[in-house]
Amino acid sequence: MKKKIVTVVGARPQFIKVAPVSRVLRQQFDEVLVHTGQHYDYNMAGVFFEELNIPKPDYNLDVGSGSHGKQTGEMLEKIEQVLLKEKPDGVLVYGDTNSTLAAAIAASKLHIPIFHIEAGLRSFNKKMPEEVNRVLTDHVSSLLFAPTSVAVNQLASEGITDGVYAVGDVMYDAFLYNLNIAKEKITLKDFNVNEREYYLSTIHRAENTDNETRLKAIISALMEIKETVLLPLHPRTQKKLSNIGLLEKVKNAKNIKLLEPISYLEMIYLEKYSKGIITDSGGVQKEAYFAHVPCFTLRNETEWVETVNVHWNTLVNPTQEKLNEIVGNYQVVQYVEGIYGDGTASEKIVQYIDNYFNK
């Protein structure tokens, strides 16, 4: 009989990561897909299931938004019920959201092996909710799929060496699989921009949205960019801007084109032909590198240190540095291939899960 894996996802980047892995996993395993409902707007969730042909979730826990404790607690309770009913052989989790942590706690209490994709990432900033989620998840996981050797070494420095495998990054698998599909479906005309004449920006990280001084500085910095800035806005940021009375200013800014969150195919297409990317997203930093486009990251630190080390990513503190000058002065350097693997992370992950059950 096939082994049963319960996969838990809930937030936008997890839908993108689950697509390539699920495709391979289902060839060998019985996968039960759980969507916690952490993200629920059509353009934050449903669009990705449709566009990336992700199987319909077997369970939608409909948890929605809330404070960290409330959201994580409700997920924990509901995921436990699913696990008690399904009795899986393993639980697969992705990244570092509250959905990841809730699944990891639920599974560990029931002694179900946890397989963590994107293990070993650290920002060393415990004020980030994601940092707590990833550290705790790594420490209860049986298989830890690290995207890079830096992540493997980090886990070793925390005493975790068993079950750790460097497999590359599943977001690279997704990017390679979907870029040609995007080229067939999307054009720059849809967004009224020309190749290499615009910047693409996303902002959603709590440290930027929840700090009024920082959020104001980011908006001012984007308004100083000479070129057009396409800004597909996360609902969290939209709400914060509205609360502090800045949304109208952004809407009226001459160089900013404010958009609702866009689909993954639209996103990678716009990344590919942009002049550069300005973001605080984890995934988008990597995609800038996959797309061979310079990235400017509005954070004080990043987990994706390799992108900075090869000079395709620059950290910018918007309250202390001039973004438009840094962006304008950026000189393209030679591209270093392969820092996130070769696009076969999903196959490697499924092989290691299979080996785990056959050891």
Which residues here bind ligand UDP, judged by CB under 6 A? 12-13, 16, 202, 204, 232, 261-264, 267-268, 281-284, 287
The Cα diameter of the chain in Å comes to: 61
164 half-sphere exposure, CB direction, 13 A CA radius: 23
* Cβ-based neighbours of 161, under 8 Å, separated by 6 or more: 155
Neighbour-count burial for 190-199, b at 16+ CB within 10 Å, e otherwise: ebebeeeebb
Distance CA 84, CA 86 (A): 6
* Residue 62 interacting with ligand UD1 (CB under 6 A): no
* CB 27, CB 351: distance < 8 Å: no
* Residue 263 interacting with ligand UD1 (CB under 6 A): no
Name which of ligand UDP, ligand UD1, none residue 262 binds, using a CB cut-off of 5 to 8 Å depending on partner kind: ligand UDP
End-to-end alpha carbon distance in the chain: 17
* Residue 12 interacting with ligand UD1 (CB under 6 A): yes
Which residue is catalytic, options 139, 204, 234, 311?
204
Name which of 19 and 24 has its Cβ closer to ligand UD1: 19
Name which of 154 and 279 has its Cβ closer to ligand UD1: 279
* Residue 239 interacting with ligand UD1 (CB under 6 A): yes
Distance CA 6, CA 133 (A): 19
Name which of 11 and 24 has its Cβ closer to ligand UD1: 11
Looking at 40, 165, 330, 352, which residue binds ligand UD1 (CB under 6 A)? 40
Hey, is 245 helix, strand or coil? Answer: coil
Hey, is 61 helix, strand or coil? Answer: coil
* Residue 38 interacting with ligand UD1 (CB under 6 A): yes
Looking at 183, 185, 236, 249, which residue binds ligand UD1 (CB under 6 A)? 236
Distance CA 115, CA 137 (A): 9
Name which of 38 and 314 has its Cβ closer to ligand UDP: 38
111 catalytic, yes or no?
Answer: no
Residues designated as active site: 204
Contacting positions for ligand UD1 (CB under 6 A): 11-13, 38-41, 44, 65, 96-98, 129-130, 204, 234-236, 239
